[in-house]
Every structure is written in structure tokens, then in C-alpha cells.
Chain A
Amino acid sequence: SIDPARHDEL
């Protein structure tokens, strides 16, 4: 699953 805080995409 995704770490919601870490949006590493532009």
C-alpha cells in the first residue's frame, strides 16, 4: 500500500 504522506510523483 502507499504511504499517503509520501507523494513522490509530480
Chain B
Amino acid sequence: MNIFRLSGDVCHLVAIIILFLKIWRSKSCAGISGKSQLLFALVFTTRYLDLFTAFISIYNTVMKVVFLVLAYATVSLIYFRFRKSYDSESDSFRVEFLLVPVAGLSFLENYSFTPLEILWTFSIYLESVAILPQLFMITKTGEAESITTHYLFFLGLYRTLYLANWVWRYHEEGFFDQIAVVSGVVQTIFYCDFFYLYFTRVLRGSGKMTLP
């Protein structure tokens, strides 16, 4: 464990909590892509199946459980409790265009052709594109509430810190997880455009992020 990975995991947890609390307190999921949250729940489900087969550490186990619980709780807020505020009209990204290539690639490019390993690989590839419905929804509506942008900022920060974590682990341990790194770089690139808008608009105190 290193400071980059630990702070990355903390940023990830903060992002998920920001989103959950925003929906819970505002009793609305307006502007939130339910599809992205479904994809994230699927990412955690397919990645954390080893909860029952491989014990890494207390931290690892606790964080996996917390991420799973919060992911499903957020999805249930969007699709059940506050479903009247769910804007399915704007959340129109065709997720099948993500799931099919990601599933195909996870069968082609993996470390070993076993069910657990293919599901892990699927979750890695899926995570890199899971935010796209949310980013698409923001471009469609042309705006995002500032709390939603803070959620995206912390998600992007978690991914950026993971890149630093991999540099550190390669330098310190000779650790290099090619599938995770390539997929992680692609995922972080998707946030670059958002980061630009975030730093030039939201942090200028304009409150809401409106796209040009």
C-alpha cells in the first residue's frame, strides 16, 4: 500500500458518498445518470467476487463491502425511491455499445481464461467507460449542478492518483498490471475535458457548470 493508492481509494469513497448524500438530501436524482451508476454497481459486482475466495487484508475486504453497499444503495435511490425525479429522457446513452465491446475484449485480452479472471477483466474494462453515460448526459442537458461536478472531480482525482500509484509500484516493487494500467489511462483521459471545464468554470465560483 502507498499514499497514492490510499488517497485514491479515499477520493473514490468521498465521490461515492458525495453522490449518495446529494441524492438522499435533495430527495432527487435530477441530472444524475442512472445508467452510469448501474454500470459502477456492475463493475464492483464483477470485480469483488473474490470477496469470498481471496483474503487480501481487512482494509481490502471492508472497502469492497462499503463500495458494493453504497453502489447498490445509490442505484436503488435512483431507480426506486426517487425514480420520479430520474430524467430517463436525458440519460439516453446506449450502454449496449459499451457492454458488448467490453465483454468481447475481456474474453480476448485477459491474464487467464477462468470465470473469475474474465469477470475481473470485464470489470476493469467496464470501469474505464462507466462514466460516459454521465458525461454524455451533462453534454445533453448542457449543464451540471456543482455538487455533481464535485462528484466527478473526486472520481477523476481517484483515477489520477491510481496512475501515480502504478508509477510508484513499478518503481518500488516492479509491479505492472498491464490490463489495469492501459484501461486506467483510457479512463483518466475521459476526465481531462471535464477537468478543464471544472477548473475554468466551477471553481471560478460560477456555481453551476454550463457547457458552451
Contact = CB atoms under 8 A, between A and B. Distances in A.
Interface of A: 1-2, 4-10
A10 B176 contact: no
A5 B54 contact: yes
Interface in B131-185: 162, 165, 175-178, 180
B5 A4 contact: no
A10 B9 CA distance: 8
B176 A2 contact: yes
Task: Give the interface SS of chain A, mostly helix, strand, loop or mixed.
Answer: loop
9 contacts: A2-B111, A4-B112, A5-B112, A5-B117, A8-B57, A9-B162, A9-B165, A9-B177, A10-B12
Given A2-B176, A2-B177, A7 B63 contact: no
A5 B56 CA distance: 11
A6 B67 CA distance: 19
Nearest to A7: B120
Contact of B64 (A4, A6, A10): A10
A2 B50 CA distance: 17
B60 interface: yes
B51 to A, nearest CB: 11
Contacts of B60: 8, 10
Interface string B55-72: 011001001100100000
A9 B5 contact: yes
Nearest to B169: A9
Contacts of B5: 9
A7 to B, nearest CB: 6
